[in-house]
Structure 1
Amino acid sequence: MQKLNLNQILSQKLSPQQIQFIKLLQVPTAELDARIEEELEVNPALEEGKEEDADNQVEDFAEGSENTDVKDDKDVNIEEYLNEEYGGYKMQGDGNYSGDEEEREMPLSSYSTLHEQLLSQLNFLKLDERQRIIGKQLIGSIENDGYIRRSLEAIINDLAFSQNVETDLDELEEILIKIQAFDPPGIAARNLQECLIIQLERKDDPNEPLVQKAIFVVQNCFEEFTKKHYDKILKKAGIEEDELKEVIHLITRLNPKPGGVSDGMVRNHYVIPDFILNNSNGKFEIVLNSKNAPELKVSRSYSEMFSAYDKSDKKDKKLKETVTFVKQKLDSAKWFIDAIKQRQHTLMKTMQAIMDYQKEFFVDGDETKLRPMILKDIAEKIDMDISTVSRVANSKSIQTEFGVFPLKYFFSEGIATTDGGEDVSNREVKSVLNKLVEGEDKKRPLSDDKLVKLLNQKGYNIARRTVAKYREQLQIPVARLRKEL
């Protein structure tokens, strides 16, 4: 039996203007120019230049548009939209915070991809079209950390089936060796051992005795080296203990991930900061990168065109369609300009709140002075939604006299102190942990249990599993692997 029921549902809607703002807010500075160019191309009512009397123009066409039969775009359900768009990290106090969220990398402001750099270098090789196709296939097989883990036999099959190019192992390896000479050193290696050898052979003086000894150790004692069986290396390589120390120092300074990537994101990049912090005798001033403040205006000719059309006979169907089109373009231009202005205002408001909250850090750049701070703290301070703060924090950076920092750097969870005082930032604990490891006796490195005891003595209430987690985040190996001669 069917029943008809009435239910009242309270839902929040996002207007097209709000969607425009949300999309623009999360665009990094480096990409904003491209986004503006895109809008200028599709909307003839939007122009570059100072506004002058643009506000009056907008008012003119807005007043004249009351009688036109134009419907706004359909509102969007806020829950659906935020579920799709909101990629921020979780917050303490919301029931869904995870400390592991801190390990995520923020979207970077600007970079050229590793593959683009390699393809550019490929163009400098004197290759025929067939060899170029093979080179591109090899570069396409390079993973984000810089390695080729796919077997050469499989790449030969890929070339035959997808490119209709027949080749063999000798030719493939010949072109691979050429690619392995590209920058960054170690790129396109098939394993760590080959990666280290490539880098050693590309040293300024590869025939230097120390470099030759390092190459020997990597080629012939690699397993012993990875397991730190130094006595076996001394015997096999026939070198003295002091020489082995120098060899190990040289090898450990090489880059094990030449792609500059550990989790799918490019790290070798040039960041364009969204903010610049000036410190004039202790007085801080935040300046928004000029790229964030483009000069845009509503087209006067389009505004006048709309005014003329609107005063004419609206019974003409084609004319009515023209009026509708022009109004939509003018509306869109006005919305875009407003969204850009709102973006600037929100960025400055959020950054100012972060700076006020972490003022002690900005004085001298000492990360131990960073206070525990979560998204909710800033959202409450500026009276905005947490998702808005997340969009700003996840894709923006600031230039200071101590370097360029992603805004996400300033957010961290709190660690309780044993004296019952105010919580400290986990960054402070990590800094202390790092100093303990740096100052340890490398012949008898500190275990995680000993590190816990030392941190507890310094007043940090921290568990062993947390120390292990922070040690991993700092890329500090376990005590056994930190042991030196």
Structure 2
Amino acid sequence: MALGPRLDLRQTQQLVMTPQLRQAIKLLQSSNIEVAAFVEEELERNPLLERDESTTPGPDAGRTTDPLPAPPEAPDAAEAARSDALPAENAAPLDAEWDNVYDAGTPPMGSGGRSDFEDDLSGVEAMAAPEKNLREHIGEQIRLSFATAQERMIAANLLALLDPAGRMSVPAATIAAALGCAEDAVEAVRQRMQRFDPVGMFCADLRECLMVQLQERNRYDPAMAALLDNLEMLARRDLRGLQAVCGVDAEDMAEMVAELRRLDPKPGASFDAPPAPTLVPDVLMRRGPGDGWIVELNPETLPRVLINRGFHGRALVGARTREEKAWVAEKFQTASWLVKSLEQRANTILKVAAEIVRRQDGFFRHGVAHLKPLILRDVAEEVGMHESTVSRVTSNKAIATPRGTFELKYFFTTAIAATAGGDAVSAEAVRHRIKAMVDAESADDILSDDAIVARLRAEGVDIARRTVAKYRDALRIPSSVQRKREKAVPA
């Protein structure tokens, strides 16, 4: 066999992930907030892109209404000057002295009040003051509560060491050694700051935090002290054991537990808690004619951009060098790709959402008990896409339905087989049924996991005991023993 160089010609197919293809895939799985931020960056970067300011037609676009009467047309200024018509009788004469005319309906220039001298809270006092954070709120109380410089210095250091929950994990001895003062002085300042608003701050642990709040409410007694010393028994719901430790009956124990539930275990966390973000749905769903459903995209979450063709033509004409022409061509290609990608993203979301609504029709009509098992493959085969594409479409997307706003991922649940070979049941529907059983049980009839399995199998759901235990733990439902202990004490 001869050895030597040889030149061969071969044809192969290879999938290349271009930067534009990667960006299109990223846009598909991004939320509407991330897509809007990306579009804003492109609008600033690409001069050929412009925002589409045209209004989208609403649901009542095709409805005809009686037109409103048109206002009388004002005469043109030139025609009015050439006209020989005299002014009306109630019109002011041309030689009137306007300095002495007072219009009661118009406030004087520069005045912020009303002509009738009534306060309408339209001034500066009507503006809401900016909200203070926790450290600013505590800092004001420090300046009002402590007179000496040493106390203010200790209080400022305690405030600097405060964690977001309101705890003080650093011992007083460590703080005193760092400041070069007595430990008793640090402890005295800390105890005074525990009564600041909100009450229960600067405590070392949960027990001390609850104790300070109970003392402020004048509810701290020996029975409460014993209850706080045995919080681990309360976590295990060993209420009978707590009754023996505290020396109270079942009714008093129920009142004491209810008193603890009214306290704030983390007074600092709720003060600076940011507002919950509003979930803006990407898809809107409503009832249509013929007992059907209408699925449409939310126009508020759709960034609409256009290509400025006029500017593109002027840029091509004005480009003199090859580099300038290449730059204009690159910006035009990028703008065209972005418009096409956004349109394809919207069509894909709408197609997948419509298929989910069609398959989960029972849920929207009758509730979670009628939620059907659904996997990505079922939707992918129906809409002619890959499973990974459907997974990206349903990520970070929500739909507004008559039953509330849900993420699209919510409707994909595993299937649980039926006992008699019937239709499979959704795992989410089974979890809902387990919770309903536990909520309906009485103190004399606590359902064990085996009893729940027996009831579900009687309803046609073939489920194992370990699956019931897993679903119960996911729903944060205690075991039957703990529920029996808890319900043995009157609420």
Same fold (TM over 0.5): yes
Distance 1:122 1:420 in 2: 63
SS of equivalent residue, structure 2 residue 303: coil
Residue among 37, 44, 56 paired with 1:34: 37
Correspondence 1:244 to 2:244: no
Distance 2:381 2:328 in 1: 41
Correspondence 1:13 to 2:22: no
Match of 1:373 in 2: 374
Which residue identity does 2:287 align to in structure 1? Answer: N
- What's the CA shift for 1:190? 6.7
Which residue identity does 1:357 align to in structure 2? Answer: R
Match of 1:114 in 2: none
Matches within 5 A, 1:248-263: 248-249=257-258, 251=260
SS of equivalent residue, structure 1 residue 362: helix
Match of 1:331 in 2: 333
Say if 1:213 and 1:307 are closer, same or farther in 2 by CA, change over 3 A.
farther
Say if 1:431 and 1:175 are closer, same or farther in 2 by CA, change over 3 A.
same
Distance 1:340 1:214 in 2: 65
Match of 1:448 in 2: 449
Distance 1:214 1:389 in 2: 59
Match of 2:313 in 1: 304
Correspondence 1:351 to 2:353: yes
SS of equivalent residue, structure 2 residue 388: helix
Say if 1:461 and 1:189 are closer, same or farther in 2 by CA, change over 3 A.
farther
- What's the CA shift for 1:176? 12
- What's the CA shift for 1:271? 1.4
Distance 1:406 1:469 in 2: 23
Distance 1:301 1:373 in 2: 49
Is residue 180–residue 188 contact of structure 1 (8 Å, CA) maintained in 2? no
Say if 1:462 and 1:18 are closer, same or farther in 2 by CA, change over 3 A.
same
Correspondence 1:207 to 2:237: no
Distance 2:288 2:181 in 1: 64
Is residue 217–residue 225 contact of structure 1 (8 Å, CA) maintained in 2? no
- What's the CA shift for 1:357? 0.7
Match of 1:384 in 2: 385
- What's the CA shift for 1:471? 0.8
Correspondence 1:126 to 2:139: yes
Which residue identity does 2:253 align to in structure 1? Answer: L
Structure 1: gaps of 5 or more residues? 53-117, 261-265, 313-318
Say if 1:133 and 1:246 are closer, same or farther in 2 by CA, change over 3 A.
closer
Over residues 132-162 of structure 1, what are the superposed CA-to-partner deviations in whole Å (9 max), with x where a residue is unaligned?
Answer: 89857745xx5xxx697x94369x89xx9xx
- What's the CA shift for 1:397? 1.0
Residue among 320, 325, 331 paired with 2:322: 320
Which residue identity does 1:383 align to in structure 2? Answer: G
Distance 2:459 2:244 in 1: 43
What is the TM-score of this pair, normalised by structure 2? 0.65
Is residue 316–residue 325 contact of structure 2 (8 Å, CA) maintained in 1? no
Is residue 46–residue 298 contact of structure 1 (8 Å, CA) maintained in 2? yes
Is residue 356–residue 379 contact of structure 2 (8 Å, CA) maintained in 1? yes
- What's the CA shift for 1:270? 2.6
Match of 1:315 in 2: none
Say if 1:436 and 1:390 are closer, same or farther in 2 by CA, change over 3 A.
same
Is residue 207–residue 229 contact of structure 2 (8 Å, CA) maintained in 1? no
**Corresponding residue pairs, total:** 388
- What's the CA shift for 1:343? 1.4
Correspondence 1:219 to 2:228: yes
What is the TM-score of this pair, normalised by structure 1? 0.66
The root-mean-square deviation of aligned C-alpha atoms, in Å, is: 4.6
Match of 1:230 in 2: 239
Equivalent pairs: percent with the same residue? Answer: 30
Match of 1:56 in 2: none
Correspondence 1:23 to 2:33: no
Structure 2: gaps of 5 or more residues? 56-130, 144-151
**Which region of structure 1 is more displaced relative to structure 2, 279-288 or 422-431?**
279-288
- What's the CA shift for 1:437? 1.5
Say if 1:3 and 1:239 are closer, same or farther in 2 by CA, change over 3 A.
farther
